[in-house]
Amino acid sequence: MSTVTLEVEVPSQFPADRVFKVFSDFDTIAPKVLPQVFKSIEIVQGNGDAGTIKTLTFGDAVPFTSAKFKVDGLDVSNNSYSYSFIEGDILMGILDSISYHVKVVPSDGGSVFKQTVKYNCKGDEKPAEEFLKKEKELYENTYKALEAYGVAHPETYN
């Protein structure tokens, strides 16, 4: 099995704990700020901690319909979250899973949102470069939309 890795880094002027707090509400915020990408995210099993299974229904701007993902780890004290897509057309018939690790790290005057995405291929076929480029742009734009939502709601995310 081969793996293709994508690294995403987006700097923020906000402290790491504030950025992570906004990201922690992804299931609620993403369908509000990017309904064309995320139609809905719902818990199927669990309470949000490691082991929780969720379904994501994609919006019209995405070439996929739905996916099921599992929370692999959540460490609020380290601003870290891991999850994996385990079912759905997002796996494109060529992937066993897609693993994500998100960590928000402090930096001078703010923080950096870091996301590592691993596309775990079933065989030799891998996601195309053009697809990976669009994925990276989508992740960066999603982060920026979440951050803007947090800025617009300081009473909740301060």
Q: What is the pLDDT of residues 119-153, one digit of tens each?
A: 999 999 999 999 999 999 999 999 999 999 999 99
β pairing state of 110-121 and 38-45: unpaired
Mean pLDDT in residue range 29-53? 96
Q: What is the pTM of this model?
A: 0.93
Mean pLDDT in residue range 20-25? 94
Structure confidence at residue 58 as a pLDDT band (50, 70, 90): very high
Quick one: DSSP state of residue 49?
Answer: S
pLDDT score at 1: 76
pLDDT score at 158: 82
Q: What is the mean pLDDT of the chain?
A: 95
- Residues 84, 99: Cα–Cα separation, whole Å: 4
CB contact at 8 A, 115 and 101: yes
Residue 129: CB partners within 8 Å, gap ≥ 6?
Answer: none
Q: Got the DSSP string for 9-43?
A: EEEESS-HHHHHHHHHTHHHHHHHH-TTTEEEEEE
